[in-house]
Structure 1
Amino acid sequence: MAAIQGQQYFVSAAIVAAELHKAMLVAREISLTASNARALALRAGHGAAGFRAITEFIEELARKTVTASKDINGEAVKMSRTASEIARTRDALDRFHQAFEKAKDSPI
């Protein structure tokens, strides 16, 4: 049971990391597209001033998405480390318990 629970933590951390990676790739693509669109708006001059504001907003949103993804990924790494520590601790406790049970009837 403890092993299954520990595996669930590892699987959860891996799923979070994979989804964050996808989100970061999309955010980077959006940021690049927004940068290109902003450059076009700057070339277009005064007539595209409204478009420039939209591209800046999209670029900022992409930047925030990348930052948030990095922060969440850091938390996922912590979750994975905690799951490893829990799994190791449970394994050690199981081994100590087995050793105790084996030694319980031995004369001292």
Structure 2
Amino acid sequence: MLIKDLGRVEGTVEDLQPVTLKQLIPLDLLDSFIGIYWHVGKGKFIIYKAPLLDAKYAVVEMGQDYDEQSNTDDLQIDYNVFHMDIWYEDVLKKYPEFTGCEFDYFSRGRILY
């Protein structure tokens, strides 16, 4: 989620926490979640999520240049844990049928909902 026109708030972007942005997030988004997922086939998804303002799993960072249209001056809220870490530390324990599959075997992504 991009936070446009935020500008600099006291300190650096590393000092910002999602709760710091509470006044800037539209009310209809305050109950939203951010997370990561894998599509493991046949309409089945493995999803790890956290509330948008969760200071442990949500992180504020500079926008990433995914394509030529990206504005890297914008801030975004992102999930703070990598797919690889969750796959090996948690998913394989809960879903032993995927043992032998690397974290990037299935389609994966990030989601805000």
**TM-score after normalising by structure 1:** 0.21
Higher relative contact order (CA closer than 8 Å, sequence separation 6+): 1
Indicate the structure with greater strand content.
Answer: 2
Larger Rg belongs to: 1
**TM-score after normalising by structure 2:** 0.20
Indicate the structure with greater helix content.
Answer: 1
